[in-house]
Amino acid sequence: MRRIFHAYILLGPEKETIKKAKELAKTVNCKNALRYCDECNCCRRMEAGCHPDLFHVFPDGFSIKVEKIREVIMSSHQPPVEAKKKVYVFHEADKMTPEAQNALLKTLEDPPTPLIFLLLSQNLKALLPTVVSRCQILDYSRMNEGKTIPEDVKEIALEVIIRGIDFSKINLYVQKLTDAEAEADEIMEFIASVYRDILAIKTKSRASLKNRDLLDELKEKAKLSSQALVKAIEIVYSQIEAVKTKGNETLAWYNLFMGLKEQEVM
Ligand SMILES: [Zn+2]
């Protein structure tokens, strides 16, 4: 996503859209990276939710009322304190009353100061068509349904863990994996399944292999010690946990590869 618009609807489960909202807030404002660096002061405070230019709008009880939206509009006239763009995150945006949504229209179309509006919603139908038509829609609602990893993403993961790569190119691979069309924890689950299969081959376990199509490559890796393989699976799971709780995919990928490298399993 290179072009930045100023109003988005993030459609999907709350947890997912909150995560994506943070990513957008950082992408728009990070001074270091093309995407975001997660290291700078700005990224870290956006992630932690304590940046002075980050605003959250929550429902009062069952709705987001027009009074609340008027406050947002007032505040949108103030330029950012230090960020490139102020970020307004509307939680359960579909709970805005029709009156509230109408009040927001003009600011949504033509904000008075550099900002982005992020409307998180699970229910597009509850938003007025006039609101929807002024926003870019990012749909995360079906992302976790299939749990299938695209072949090209699998290929990248396999290249690193099975075929082994020059460790100096690791930045490139981390970048590819964070940009991939699959969630980091899902790709890592796949990696764990590969190590489990290698272990199964090694121990001649009767457990059915998940990645039978890779049998030859997996057999090659079965010369690793069982202990190292068990450790590898543990490392992968600790990073799945990290990515789920902390949400920093880039860091999790680095930690994963460093850990596997240390165990000499990749
Ligand atoms: Zn940054």
Continuous H helices in the chain: 14-29, 41-48, 66-75, 98-109, 129-132, 151-158, 170-179, 184-202, 215-221, 226-246, 249-262
CA of 41 to the centre of ligand 1 (A): 7
Which tokens hold the place of 245? 């709780």
- Summarize pLDDT for 50-87 with one digit per residue, the tens: 999 999 999 998 999 999 999 999 999 999 999 999 99
| Torsion, CA 8, CA 253, CA 149, CA 245, rounded to 10 | -60
pTM as predicted: 0.56
What pLDDT is stored for residue 146 in this prediction?
42
Q: How far apart are CA 206 and CA 228, in angstroms?
A: 20
Q: At residue 264, does pLDDT exceed 90? A: no
List the domains of the chain with CATH numbers. 7-139 (3.40.50.300), 151-262 (1.20.272)
What pLDDT is stored for residue 87 in this prediction?
98
CA of 170 to the centre of ligand 1 (A): 20
What pLDDT is stored for residue 104 in this prediction?
97
CA of 32 to the centre of ligand 1 (A): 5
CA of 140 to the centre of ligand 1 (A): 24
Residue 245 pLDDT grade (very low, low, confident, very high; cuts 50, 70, 90): confident
Q: How far apart are CA 125 and CA 86, in angstroms?
A: 27
Q: At residue 149, does pLDDT exceed 90? A: no
Q: At residue 201, does pLDDT exceed 90? A: no
Q: At residue 117, does pLDDT exceed 80? A: yes
Q: At residue 1, does pLDDT exceed 70? A: no
Q: At residue 2, does pLDDT exceed 80? A: no
Average pLDDT across the chain, whole number: 87
